[in-house]
Amino acid sequence: MSRKPYSKLLTTGIVGTLVAAVCCFTPVLGVLLGAVGLSALLGFLDFVLIPALLVFVGITIFALVRRSNSPTAPKSGSTES
């Protein structure tokens, strides 16, 4: 068993949260969809992006909680090397 069993899940959660946040809170996706002629889809993005953002935030929180409760996780204040 690796020392950080939830690091891949945590990385997935953080990257997904950042991508969804960039698409939700900046006009990047609107400009890109307009450039390729798919601007008609902009009205439906909130139905996809907000739940995706919430799911990825949940994955990140889950991975952080599981990693901190993992028996292989180093305890804070420990002097082990």
pLDDT of 74 higher than 60: no
Average pLDDT, the chain: 78
Which pLDDT score, from 0 to 100, does residue 68 have?
Answer: 81
For 33-60, b where at least 16 C-beta lie within 10 A, e where not — what string? eeeeeeeeeeeeeeeebeebbeebbebb
Which pLDDT score, from 0 to 100, does residue 79 have?
Answer: 56
pLDDT of 54 higher than 50: yes
